[in-house]
Amino acid sequence: MTPGSDSGATSDAPASGERTRAEDRGPGDPTPGPKKPRSFWKELPILIGIALVLALLIKTFLVQAFSIPSDSMQNTLQQGDRVLVDKLTPWFGSEPERGEVVVFHDPDNWLAGEPTADPNALQKVLSWIGLMPSAEEKDLIKRVIGVGGDTVSCKGTGPVKVNGKALNDTSFVYAGNTPCSVDDQGGQFTVKIPKGYIWVMGDHRQNSRDSRYNQDDAHHGMVPVKDVVGRAIVIAWPINRWDTLPVPDTFDQQGLSDQSSASGALTAAPDAVALAGMVPVALWRRRRIAPAETR
């Protein structure tokens, strides 16, 4: 050890036989720089793939677009309207409630004889992933009038009664229509709805083949809850038709649920989960504004 040296110090010089990285490089070798970023065109397929997966997940679990093919829900919905359907809350135990506009699978050949669309391959793919309204023409859209446990009746020209309570449906039934149809094909009825089913009617009462006119089918005109896709919550297109689809006040009248065993199926806990998952759906869920119209 040389005088004045610190026994704890270490030398910066390379050990014998070691070579620095600079010594390893030849005079013509380039100095390494930062890693070159991936080009936009290489990343584009990845971004598109992620977008498609997200769209598919949204369509499957959150919301799905549907196109209105007929006039049976006028004036709430017009032919050609696009509606967004909430598919989230049913995952948490929600069941259809009176007054809601719902989309459901054809329960027993209700659409027999109706013209069906013939989408091209691109439209089918875009519909499948949720980037276009559903091309599936075996779905219908109507308003829920009664749920499991209810007794729904119609005599003369109306009004429609649920558990003996008359519905004031002037805010959503097509102008000029009577709540009930005077005919022997189903316009006059008294039905008791079993648990797990709903009774649906179009807002254009004299132009809707709904529960009333399918009482001879396997479900006696009722729609199994398991066939309900979800609740239509908003008219999304065209822009000048944008509107929410609230439950009319008449369905909240006191005493309407006295004989029903299936109302209020969505408890506070699932509602909170739905709010966390999709705030707009929860905000629209029970708003009471004058309704719009459908098929």
Q: Which residues are catalytically annotated?
A: 72, 142
Place of tokens 């009038």: 145
Measured distance CA(133)–CA(151) in Å, rounded: 35
Burial letters for 187-200: b for 16+ Cβ neighbours within 10 Å, e otherwise?
bebebebeeebbbb
**What residues pair up with 109 in beta bridges, in sequence order?**
none
What is the pairing mode between strands 63-67 and 228-237? Answer: unpaired
Query: Contact, 118 vs 52, CB < 8 A?
Result: no
**What residues pair up with 158 in beta bridges, in sequence order?**
none
**Residue partners of 241: CB distance under 8 A and separation at least 6:** 78, 81, 235, 292
Largest CA distance in the chain: 120
Start-to-end CA distance of the chain, whole Å, equals 98
Measured distance CA(202)–CA(174) in Å, rounded: 9
Measured distance CA(211)–CA(241) in Å, rounded: 27
**Which stretch of DSSP H or E encloses residue 233?**
strand 228-237
Q: In what order do the strands lie in the sheet with 160-162?
A: 165-166, 160-162, 151-154, 189-192
Q: How far is CA 109 from CA 50, 106, 137, 214, 253, in A?
A: 37, 6, 12, 9, 34
